[in-house]
Amino acid sequence: MVLLDGKEVSRQIRAQIALEVSGLIGNGKRAPHLAAVLVGDDPASQTYVSNKEKACREVGFLFSVYRLPDSTTGEELTEVVDFINKDNEVDGLIVQLPLPPHISPTRIIEAIDPSKDVDGYHPLNFGRMALNLPSFLPATPLGILKILEHYRIETDGKSCVVIGRSQTVGTPVSLLLSRKSTPGNCTVTICHSRSHNLVEISSGADILIVAAGRPEMVGADMVKEGSVVIDVGIHRLTDANTKKGYRITGDVKFDKVAPRTSHITPVPGGVGPMTVVSLLLNTLKAYKKEVYC
C-alpha cells in the first residue's frame, strides 16, 4: 500500500511556486496578491483564513484580509467585493464561507469577478469546468487531481465512485474525473445521502473518493481490494487516550481500509494540504492571466 502523502506533494509544489515568485520579484515585478473577505467571527473560518495567509506569505505572495462584522448586509458585502474586483493590484479574491444566514452566498459568489475567482465557485468558472474549457478549478478537487497526477495513478477507463455531491467537492470532482482529460476518463458514479446499496456500489470502485462529512463511515467492506482511496473528510473526535484529548480522523476507517488498498490518503496529511496549495496555484494562474486574458 502506498500512502498518498499530500503534505510532501504540497511541499514540493509550494517550493516551485516560491521559486517562481522570487524570480518575478528579482525581475522587478510585483508579487501575486490574494485578498480574502471574512464576515463575522466564526473561529473555524478565522483559522482557515489565517492558514491561507500563512501559505501565501510562505511562497512570497501578498495577502490582504478584509474583516467585516457579522452585521454586514449583503449589499455592503457586494460593495466590498466590487471594490476588490476593481483593484488592479489584487489577482485573486475569496470570500470565506459560510456567510451569516442573512447573506445569500450565491449572490456574493456571483458578484466576484470570474477572472479573480480563485475558489472556482462562480457559475462561469463552474460551467467552463463542466465544458472542459480553461477555468479556475475548486481547490479541493484540484488538489485531488494533483495528487493522482503526482503518483501517476491511472484513471483512464477506471470506475470511480464519489460519495458526496456538495458543490465544492463531490460534484466538481465527479465532473473532473469524468472529463476527457488526464487525470479523467473515469466512469463516475456519484453517491449521496439518498443512495441505496452504498456498500455494493462503493466496493466496486477502482477509485473511491469519500466526501460525505461522516467520521469513519467507510469500512473495509465498502472498499475493493487493490483500489485507490481518497479521503476528503476531516473531523476532530474526542479521544481521552490521546495527550490532546482528541484525534483527527477522516470519513474512512483508515486502519481497517488501508491494508486493502493500493493507494490511500491519510487524514491529516492527505487532501487537506493539497487544498491549500491548490488555492496558491489558482492565484498564480490569475496573476499570469492564464484563464482569462
Q: Which range binds ligand NAD by CB under 6 A, 48-56, 112-120, 166-174, 179-187?
A: 166-174
Contact in structure between 68 and 38 (CB atoms under 8 Å)? yes
Interface with ligand NAD includes 191 (CB under 6 A)? Answer: yes
Whole-number minimum distance, CB 251 to ligand NAD, in Å? 6
Interface with ligand NAD includes 214 (CB under 6 A)? Answer: yes
- Would residue 158 show up in a list of annotated catalytic residues for this protein? no
Q: Is the dihedral of CA 70, 276, 191, 199 positive or negative?
A: negative
96/115 with CB nearer ligand NAD: 96
Contact in structure between 278 and 143 (CB atoms under 8 Å)? yes
The only residue of 49, 59, 93, 169 in contact with ligand NAD, by rule CB under 6 A: 169
Give me the catalytic one of 91, 116, 117, 119. Answer: 119
92/172 with CB nearer ligand NAD: 172
The only residue of 99, 163, 205, 291 in contact with ligand NAD, by rule CB under 6 A: 163
- Would residue 239 show up in a list of annotated catalytic residues for this protein? no
The radius of gyration of the chain from alpha carbons, rounded to an integer in Å, stands at 19
Residue in the structure block whose three cell numbers are 491519510: 266
Q: Spell out the alpha helix ranges (H) of 131-228.
A: 139-150, 170-178, 198-202
Under DSSP, is residue 233 helix (H, G, I), strand (E, B) or coil? coil
Phi, psi (5° rounding) for residue 238?
-60, 135
Length of the chain: 293
114/272 with CB nearer ligand NAD: 272
Q: Count Cβ atoms below 10 Å from residue 185 Cβ, excluding itself.
A: 17
Name which of 33, 13, 20, 45 is nearest 92 in CA terms. Answer: 33
173/291 with CB nearer ligand NAD: 173
Interface with ligand NAD includes 264 (CB under 6 A)? Answer: no
Interface with ligand NAD includes 192 (CB under 6 A)? Answer: yes
Name the residue type at position 238: T
Q: Which residues contact 242 (CB under 8 A, 6 or more apart)?
A: none
Interface with ligand NAD includes 99 (CB under 6 A)? Answer: no
The only residue of 30, 193, 199, 237 in contact with ligand NAD, by rule CB under 6 A: 193
Contact in structure between 114 and 122 (CB atoms under 8 Å)? yes
Q: Which range binds ligand NAD by CB under 6 A, 35-43, 53-61, 151-159, 211-219?
A: 211-219
Interface with ligand NAD includes 272 (CB under 6 A)? Answer: yes
Cα distances (Å, whole numbers) of residue 104 to 97, 99, 101, 118, 125: 11, 8, 7, 19, 19
- Would residue 119 show up in a list of annotated catalytic residues for this protein? yes
The only residue of 212, 223, 230, 252 in contact with ligand NAD, by rule CB under 6 A: 212
What residues are labeled active site? Answer: 52, 96, 119
Residue numbers at the binding site for ligand NAD (CB under 6 A): 140, 163-166, 168-170, 191-193, 195, 198, 211-214, 217, 232-234, 271-272, 275
